[in-house]
């Protein structure tokens, strides 16, 4: 009996005691390689996220891989449009083990075809603020209006942004107020409201 119990305990430790490991890296471009790191408890999946943004006036592609909680895995393909040419498109894949080695998220194609909907628009980095009467026309499958305030901290670097615009519903499914942390980048979302985009007047 003791031997059997001992064997069962060993089996248990060998299977469920296995920590999750994820590759961790962040880079410009669409590929990066990093070391495998042990995820913290509560971070139950690896993520690979690629994005293209035009927030600083030029087009930047970024990739990040790391450990997250699977509660943020819903987004998949997203598109956000803050007006004045400021846009973000992204694709995320959550995976564990072998699946992460073959997963290759692709940045969703750029769609410029407007869809007849509109949202209040703004992308402001503190201390700038939003111009209240700006609007943006939604493109592609963007059907929701996001109004978000987020403070991003990386080491001693702190940026506060206000982001309003057209987004795909997938963005709204994932975003909620609170703190998240990945690869030492700490994001604190202090406001996140989504409403259905209205039709152009
Ligand atoms: C797990 O990852 C998320 C990001 O999805 C982070 O916000 C959270 O703090 C992490 N949880 C733990 C317990 O490390």
Residue 146: predicted pLDDT: 98
H-assigned helices in 63-128: 98-102
Q: Tell me the pTM.
A: 0.85
User: Nearest 5°: CA angle at 158, between 32 and 74?
Assistant: 50
Between 125 and 17, whose confidence is greater?
125
**In the predicted structure, residue 12 carries a pLDDT above the cut 50:** no
How many angstroms does the Cα of residue 77 sit away from the middle of ligand 1?
21
Q: How far apart are CA 152 and CA 154, in angstroms?
A: 7
Q: Decide whether any atom of ligand 1 lies within 6 Å of the 197 Cβ.
A: no
State the average pLDDT over residues 122-146: 94
Dihedral over alpha carbons 154, 156, 162, 164 (to 10 degrees): -10
**In the predicted structure, residue 1 carries a pLDDT above the cut 90:** no
**Average pLDDT, whole number, for the chain?**
90
Q: How far apart are CA 36 and CA 42, in angstroms?
A: 17
Q: How sure is the predictor about 18, in pLDDT bands with cuts at 50, 70 and 90?
A: low
The Cβ of residue 26 has, within 10 Å, a number of other Cβ atoms equal to 16
142 in Cβ contact with 88 (< 8 Å): no
20 in Cβ contact with 52 (< 8 Å): no
Q: Decide whether any atom of ligand 1 lies within 6 Å of the 183 Cβ.
A: no
Q: How sure is the predictor about 10, in pLDDT bands with cuts at 50, 70 and 90?
A: very low
**In the predicted structure, residue 9 carries a pLDDT above the cut 70:** no
State the average pLDDT over residues 3-21: 56
Q: Decide whether any atom of ligand 1 lies within 6 Å of the 167 Cβ.
A: no
State the average pLDDT over residues 26-37: 95
Q: Whose CA is nearest to atom 13 of ligand 1?
A: 42
**In the predicted structure, residue 15 carries a pLDDT above the cut 60:** no
Residue 149: predicted pLDDT: 97
Q: What is the pLDDT of residues 176-188, one digit of tens each?
A: 899 999 999 999 9
Domain borders along the chain are 19-199
Reading the block at residue 136, the tokens are 């943006």
């Amino acid at each position: 009996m003791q031997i059997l119990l001992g064997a069962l305990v060993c089996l248990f430790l060998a299977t469920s005691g296995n920590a999750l490991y994820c590759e961790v890296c962040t880079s410009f471009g669409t590929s990066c390689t990093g070391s495998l790191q042990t995820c913290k408890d509560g971070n139950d999946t690896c993520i690979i996220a690629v994005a293209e943004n035009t927030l600083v006036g030029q087009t930047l592609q970024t990739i990040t891989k790391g450990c997250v909680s699977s509660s943020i895995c819903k987004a998949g393909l997203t598109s956000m449009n803050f007006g004045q040419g400021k846009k973000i498109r992204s694709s995320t894949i959550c995976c564990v083990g072998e699946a992460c080695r073959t997963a290759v998220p692709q940045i969703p194609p750029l769609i410029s075809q407007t869809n007849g909907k509109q949202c209040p628009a703004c992308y402001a980095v503190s201390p700038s603020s939003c111009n209240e009467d700006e609007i943006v026309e939604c493109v592609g499958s963007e059907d929701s209006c996001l109004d978000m305030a987020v403070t991003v901290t990386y080491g001693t670097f702190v940026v506060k942004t206000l982001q309003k615009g057209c987004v795909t519903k997938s963005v709204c499914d994932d975003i909620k107020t609170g703190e998240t942390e990945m690869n030492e980048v700490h994001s604190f979302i202090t406001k996140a409201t989504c409403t259905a985009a209205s039709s152009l007047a």
